[in-house]
Structure 1
């Protein structure tokens, strides 16, 4: 064999050797990387297992109840199930009405803390409010009459009789009233249209709480609608009566959207 051929064969062997070494090193590096990754995953799994001790405990209880194979290092299944049932029985007894004693920890080797929350009973606050709409058939100068129907008509602990709202629960109330009326040249008005909201209290003279007036009169025969809407907060006593009067009930537009009267409680008074 010529020297040139010998040198060429030696070079090929050298290259093959380097390739083999590189492959071996690659495998070693790959194994190391996989080992680090696997070790990291195991650490995460252990952390999750630590955070889920309660879940594992329940899983083992379930296995005991089903008679499946359990880790031999675990306590005897009969003892575990007996303690678990005893704990459930104590919790059930505590939940019965009239039982307010704290549970005594009788779980021996079980150290899981037990938090007992007191039941929260929501308090229902009744609505003290009323909304009435105009009653054309029965209204007069002595006072406007109203109907317990229309929009948002609700009342509890507050009453209505013969045009007057009666307070059953003392407190601070927002009283409001809107009266819409028609004024034109065919309806001669000797005085401005005035709305009064009165308070009638036992052993006292009736007094005006609110007042609204309008002096504008349309010069055409067409009806010109105007609204008077007073409202304010007052301190009212039990059995107080509130009612509305106007100077000319015949001019009032009694549609529920135009003419209404009501009040609602906004707070208590000392």
Structure 2
């Protein structure tokens, strides 16, 4: 397994692979890898000759400094885990200076409103930071395909929009959410939860499942009010938002429309740790 921390060395290596007609998959991560990441890596390995896994905690997508400082960093564990999966993995783990130089700043993007709801409403500048780093990694690696988990479904749609609008020649592939045995969506942030709260957080997925059942017979308004009531009774979890939206446009639902895919989106605080999840409803 090859590990690079310099863009120039990575691109030099990859240019030789591309010249030999080898296909490349990219799995961008912020480290603290778990089985959700590994599922992306395995999918990429099955569909490409070589897989690049980036490990970089991107400062421009954090709207709160303390959240950035608390984000778990486990590079040695990450490398051991990836090495156990395959030797056909190339790791790119640069410093912030290597990526941004002396100007740690996001570009400004137009995402056609996809960035104005849900995560965008509560995390100012977040998606400009995401777009900036993903575009940079795509252009550095030049992959045939790049893989993203559907846990960050809004992010996935925004990356697809960015690639489409800039006419970038990369295929963006979304992969299903991996869950812990109790249903909690796998996330690096889960490591910051106590054992008790981690178990209690299964409540989030259970609420989504019930919302899916209710969606067949009840109005979106009634479901939203029901979800709020459930969290008001929960001592461990604080609801930030719950939204039902068009899966393609991310427009919040007003009235159910035929031939439209809807998805429920949720953000919750568990002892100060922010967790997100989503579930297709129909």
Q: TM-score, normalised by structure 1?
A: 0.18
Q: TM-score, normalised by structure 2?
A: 0.18
Which structure: greater helix fraction? 2
Quick check: which has more Rg, 1 or 2? 1
Structure possessing the higher relative contact order (Cα contacts under 8 Å, 6 or more residues apart): 1
Which structure: greater strand fraction? 1
